[in-house]
Structure formats: structure tokens, C-alpha cells
Amino acid sequence: LENALRQSQKLEALGQLTGGVAHDFNNLLTAALANLHLMERHLPAEGTRYLDGTLTALERARTLTGQLLAFSRQEAVDPKVIDLGDGLRAMANLLERSIRADIALDWALPSAPLRVEVDPVQLELAVLNLVVNARDAMPEGGRIRIAVRQEEAPDGPLAVLEITDTGGGMPPEVAARAFEPFFTTKPHGKGTGLGLSMVYGFARQSGGNATISSAPRRGTVVRITLPVSGRTPEPEAAPDPAEAPSAG
Ligand code: ADP
């Protein structure tokens, strides 16, 4: 109970802190990123090298403002029915840019549609946070696996999304607190302690759950379960095929 109280006090303080500032920053960063992505297409190859670092830095900044926004109560969640596999495929470029050359990104996405009702912006942030955590847990390189499958549960079918890494893992006392806002073991200036609590908030808000299974030297699995939606997705622009990795 004391934990829950501390957690809600922290959340409230953060909600007051963020508000308009994070919101305006997020919009400015989104506009800047969109323009830079357009610029990228028109630059000769040697120019895009310099642009890459800028994009990475701005995307990191947007992750941060997005995390803050997710906690500020002014942030409206905008759930949509989407195919989970498509949502992840659309992130392939962003994720590849967020890891390092000594880390392999493996995909195991279903070919059949698996519909969930989530805020696509929050889904993107959650997965990006998990991949960045996995990267940080593997300073000597390793593998990150993004897997999606359907499971039958007593209350109906679940979409299961697992992000697995081969990194250092967490001792039990870290795993127990990892979802807590502001809990971080990273050096000052490197971690906010907001990534996993955003992931947890996203899962719960979407009617699902998030769990961690981890042990020192055994790597980490973060598992998000979401109820499968029986509704059909709203018609929307098809994802850019150039962005999509192959399934399997
Ligand atoms: P941050 O990444 O800013 O520290 P998070 O809430 O995302 O905040 O994570 C909290 C803590 O949980 C991290 O500081 C780290 O100790 C631990 N952690 C999260 N993900 C992993 C992982 N994949 N492997 C090992 N430890 C992790």
C-alpha cells in the first residue's frame, strides 16, 4: 500500500511538472523530424550520414517528451484498432537506428492479422523504450527478439508481444521495482526511470498487462499482453512497404 501511495504521489508531481511544456516540445520535435525525414530523401548519400546523427538525437528527445506526456493527465489517449504486426513492422527503421551495429534485431511476427485496440503513438513509445533498454543492457552486443503471437486465455484471446534480450538481466530487487516511475539504475543523465513505467501504463490503459522475467546474466523478457479486438480496423493509409522487414 505504501508503495502504491508513493507511486501515485510521484505520478501526480510529474503530471503537474509536465503539462504544456512537454506538449509544445513534442509538437515541435515531431514537425522537425518530419521535415528532416523529407530532407533525407533528397540528399546525396554522403549528406544523409550527417543527418542520421541528428535524427537519432531528435528521436531520443521525442521519446523523452513522449514519456513525460504519457504521465501528464493532459495527454489524451487516442486508441485505434490496428494490426499489431503492421504497427511493429512500421517501426523497423526507427528501431534499427536506435540500436548499435553489434546488436542483431530478430523478428517473429505472425502473418495473420492480430488486431488490438491501442494508441499507436503509445505503442511506438513503449516498444522504443523496451528496445533502448535492451540495447543498454548489452554493452558488449547481443540479440534483441521482437515476437508476437496469439494466446488463448479464460477471458478471450490475447495478443502477446515479447521483447527479449541477451543482456545482463536484473537482480530480483531491480526487477521488483523496475516498473516504478523514476526508478533507474543508470548513471545520472543516462536514465529517467520512466521507460518501463510508461510501458506498464500503456499496457494497463489498453486493458492488458506487462510483466518482466529476468535474472542476472540470463537476459530479460518483457511481455505485454493485450486483449485481441473483435473490431475491424479503420481504413487508413497502407504502411510504406520500404519500411517493412520480412516476417519470421
Ligand atoms: P531507465 O531506462 O531510464 O533507467 P526504465 O524504467 O526503462 O528507466 O528502467 C528502469 C531500470 O530497469 C533500468 O535502470 C534498469 O536497471 C532496469 N532494466 C530495464 N530494462 C532492462 C533490461 N532489458 N535489462 C536489464 N535491466 C533492465
Nearest CA to ligand 1 atom 3: 191
Residue with cell 486483449: 227
| CA angle (248 as vertex; 142, 223 as ends), nearest 5 | 60
- In angstroms, what is the span from residue 128 Cα to ligand 1's centroid? 13
d(CA 6, CA 204): 19
- In angstroms, what is the span from residue 133 Cα to ligand 1's centroid? 6
d(CA 94, CA 35): 16
Find, among 80, 36, 86, the residue nearest to 58 by Cα. Answer: 36
The pTM score is: 0.75
What residues are in contact with ligand 1 under a 6 Å CB criterion?
A: 129, 133-134, 137, 165, 167-170, 174, 178, 183-186, 191-197, 220
Asked if 151 contacts 158 with a C-beta cutoff of 8 angstroms, the reply is yes
Q: What is the pLDDT along the chain (248 residues), one digit of tens a residue?
A: 666 667 666 666 666 666 667 777 877 888 888 888 888 888 888 888 888 888 888 888 888 887 777 666 545 678 999 999 999 999 998 899 889 999 999 999 999 999 999 999 889 889 999 999 999 999 999 999 999 999 999 999 999 999 999 999 999 999 999 998 889 999 877 788 888 988 998 899 899 999 999 999 999 999 999 999 988 776 655 555 555 555 44
Cross-strand partners of 108: 147
